[in-house]
């Protein structure tokens, strides 16, 4: 199993929290706030996030099914893992 940096692990945790807010709680407003906080956290730690996918998340958040948003969050997590390995 690959080892990830503390920053990547924190981002994974936040992505998981966003997913649970959407899927279990149907609280998309808070999920949006957590995504904004995740972006600030990543920027502060100089950790690159896929901005196009973050923008897409905000665009589809209110109108998409939870499964679609979960798929996008998993895709972001894969990008985070790839960036962390390359770093």
Cα 19 to Cα 38: distance, rounded to the nearest angstrom: 13
Cα 31 to Cα 53: distance, rounded to the nearest angstrom: 15
Confidence grade of residue 87 (pLDDT, cut at 50, 70, 90): confident
Cα 7 to Cα 20: distance, rounded to the nearest angstrom: 20
Amino acid 1: pLDDT: 57
Cα 28 to Cα 5: distance, rounded to the nearest angstrom: 28
Tens digit of each residue's pLDDT (9 = 90 or more) over 12-70: 999 999 999 999 999 999 999 999 999 999 999 999 999 999 999 999 999 999 999 99
Non-local (6+) Cβ contacts of 60 within 8 A are: 68, 69, 72
């Amino acid at each position: 199993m690959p080892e990830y940096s503390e920053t990547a692990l924190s981002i994974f945790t936040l992505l998981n929290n966003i997913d649970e807010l959407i899927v279990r709680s149907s609280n998309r407003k808070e999920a949006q706030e957590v995504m904004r906080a995740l972006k600030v956290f990543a920027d502060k730690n100089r950790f690159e996030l896929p901005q196009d996918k973050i923008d897409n998340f905000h665009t589809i958040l209110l109108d998409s099914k939870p499964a679609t948003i979960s798929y996008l969050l998993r895709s972001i997590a894969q990008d985070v893992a790839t960036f962390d390995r390359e770093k």
